Structure 1
């Protein structure tokens, strides 16, 4: 079952997605306001991200042909910093 932070994050992403309908955005906004304190939800485990997930996401960014060169450079820099 997803955590509150994951559910709120999904609704936040929906609000920023240019491909979702106005009705869907209105629903997400209402859910965030009514159930998730406007989207201000505490992350589990003290806000620490799973390093394996972060590394996997950065590697996915590097291999995605739709990702900009700038984003790939940023992802590579972050990977390099994590390995030092």
Structure 2
């Protein structure tokens, strides 16, 4: 599934592109409004989820140093 933040940015790009048709802009505006109403376009929340997953992966990666794993554990505790 596509990252909602990326989808929202693409829709915003469609709205601002003078080469897009009015029909395309209307569809993009409707979809963006739907995403905003459902909370799907909340890119800050999506980013926080990505950060959390990255730190969890860092902890379980055997190639990471103990120092890096401790840092990731600290970040997750603070979240």
TM-score, reference length from structure 1 = 0.46
CA radius of gyration, larger in = 2
Higher helix share goes to which structure?
2
